[in-house]
Amino acid sequence: MIIDTHAHITCDALYARKEEVIEQAKAAGVGRILIVCTNAAEGERALRLADTDDMFDVAIGFHPCDLYDVEESDWQRLEAMLALPQVVAVGEIGLDYHWKEVDKDTQKRGFIRQIEMANAIGKPVSIHMREATRDTLDVLKKHLHVSGIMHCFNGSEETVREILDMGMYISVGGPLTFKNARGLPEVIKSVPLDRLFVETDCPYLTPHPHRGKQNEPKYIVHTFAKLCELKETTVAQAEAQMLENYQRLFRNGCASS
Ligand SMILES: [Zn+2]
Ligand SMILES: [Zn+2]
pLDDT digits (tens, 9 = 90+) for 23-65: 999 999 999 999 999 999 999 999 999 999 999 999 999 999 9
**What is the helix (H) or strand (E) element at residue 232, kind and residue range?**
none
The string of pLDDT tens digits covering residues 163-207 is 999 999 999 999 999 999 889 999 999 999 999 999 999 999 999
CA of 6 to the centre of ligand 2 (A): 6
Query: What is residue 100's predicted lDDT score, i.e. its pLDDT?
Result: 87
On whether the CB atoms of residues 150 and 127 are closer than 8 A, the answer is yes
- The reported pTM is 0.96
Domains of the chain plus CATH, in order, are 2-250 (3.20.20.140)
Query: What is residue 255's predicted lDDT score, i.e. its pLDDT?
Result: 36
Confidence of residue 253 (pLDDT cuts 50, 70, 90): very low
Average confidence (pLDDT) over 69-80: 96
Neighbours of 233 (CB within 10 A): 15
CA of 128 to the centre of ligand 1 (A): 4
Q: Which residues surround ligand 2, an ion (CB under 5 A)?
A: 201
Determine the length of the chain: 257
Give the single-character DSSP code of 217. G
CA of 194 to the centre of ligand 1 (A): 22
On whether the CB atoms of residues 132 and 110 are closer than 8 A, the answer is no
Confidence of residue 257 (pLDDT cuts 50, 70, 90): very low
CA of 203 to the centre of ligand 1 (A): 11
Nearest to 54 by CA among 79, 16, 22, 6: 22
CA of 257 to the centre of ligand 2 (A): 25
> What average pLDDT does the structure give for the chain?
95
The string of pLDDT tens digits covering residues 198-247 is 999 999 999 999 999 999 999 999 999 999 999 999 999 999 999 999 99
